[in-house]
Amino acid sequence: MAESAKSSGVLFALLSTVLWGSYPLWYSPLRDIAAVDVLAFRVIGSFAFVLLFITAIKNVSMSDLKQLVTRKATLKVVISSAIVTAVWWLAYIYAVTHSLVLEASLGYFISPIISVFFGFVLFKERPSISQWVAICITFVAIANLIYNYGQTPWIAIIIGTCFSLYAAIRKGQTIKPLPGLGVECLFLLPFALIFLLYQTSNSGLALYAQITGLQWFFLLAIGLISVLPLWWYTIAAQKLEMITLSFFQLIPPTCNFLFAIFLFNETFTNSHLVTFSLIWIASVVYLVSKLELLTQPPQTEGEKT
């Protein structure tokens, strides 16, 4: 692989993951708006920007959207992932607007390990010893937080599960990211519009007249930042090895963690310290296990039997 391609891949991976990691900065000005309202605006904005990007990018077209909608097999997959996306987005929006960014970061840290567990349960995949160790450490970390902090980290569990379940639903599917997101938003769009109409019919336009100009800017921007990093990450995935991308995937939850502690001043107890330390250990073990798998020489037919 040419060095220039790798360099551009690193750049796009960095841009996408840093932008994903900056989400708390974009959602925090929307704390006065209900999470469901923000979700509705995000769905509408994302759909609009997906259409804009599809018309502007060369390797995707409206026919990609049409194929996903007209094929029953892929349509079922995308509708399923759309439902998971809605729950995932709502949980994250709720987390940021209710000072639970620390818990959201925990959810993203544990998601790769949950994916390994899903692979074992749903697809009969055999985790390596290192991956089993990572799974066990993750369960101990969450149990520690529940026992010592006296509260189940539901947001972290929901986000981590949704992130992993989304990957499990899409596993084995050749669905391009942008058209896939477009059809997901297309499925969610009627619900978003009906919800906003219901809100205005019950409370009148005064409900949204209280939104400031700055908040309207961020409501518009969250549609763009839902699509832009996905496009950048797609470019990066075409230029970089999966193990390299795995390290970049640690950037968003790390950014969330730092924002929660140093910008939003969320509570960070000794129980949190123990839990996050265990999760970081589990993440390192998981990445090492992936590196081991990628560096193993291919088996011959005799070795397979």
Task: List % helix, strand, coil for the chain (3-state, nearest 5).
Answer: 85, 0, 15
pLDDT at 288: 85
pLDDT at 268: 93
Tokens 């390192």 appear where?
Answer: 284
Cβ neighbours, 10 Å, residue 83: 16
Confidence band, pLDDT 50/70/90 cuts, at residue 298: low
pLDDT at 104: 96
Mean pLDDT of 84-103: 96
Long-range pairs for 74-79 at CB < 8 Å and ≥24 separation? 74/173, 74/175, 75/183, 77/169, 77/170, 77/173, 77/175, 78/175, 78/180, 78/183, 78/184, 78/187, 79/187
Mean pLDDT computed over every residue of the chain? 90
CB 61 within 8 A of CB 54: yes
Rounded-to-integer distance, Cα 295 and Cα 150, Å: 42
Structure tokens at 188: 């969610």
Q: What is 242-264 written as a DSSP string?
A: HHHHHHHTTHHHHHHHHIIIIIS
Counting residues of the chain whose pLDDT is more than 70, the rounded percentage is 94
pLDDT at 203: 77
Whole-prediction pTM: 0.90
pLDDT at 297: 57
pLDDT digits (tens, 9 = 90+) for 132-145: 999 999 999 999 98
Question: pLDDT at residue 147 above 70?
Answer: yes
Mean pLDDT of 222-248: 88
Confidence band, pLDDT 50/70/90 cuts, at residue 305: very low
Question: pLDDT at residue 299 above 60?
Answer: no
Question: pLDDT at residue 241 above 70?
Answer: yes
CB 93 within 8 A of CB 39: yes
Residue 124 buriedness (CB in 10 A; 0-12 / 13-18 / 19+)? exposed
CB 196 within 8 A of CB 40: yes
pLDDT at 295: 60
pLDDT at 97: 95
Tokens 């939104």 appear where?
Answer: 211
Of 187, 176, 200, give the one whose Cα is nearest residue 86. Answer: 187
Confidence band, pLDDT 50/70/90 cuts, at residue 275: very high
Query: Highest mean pLDDT range out of 26-35, 204-213, 296-305?
Result: 26-35
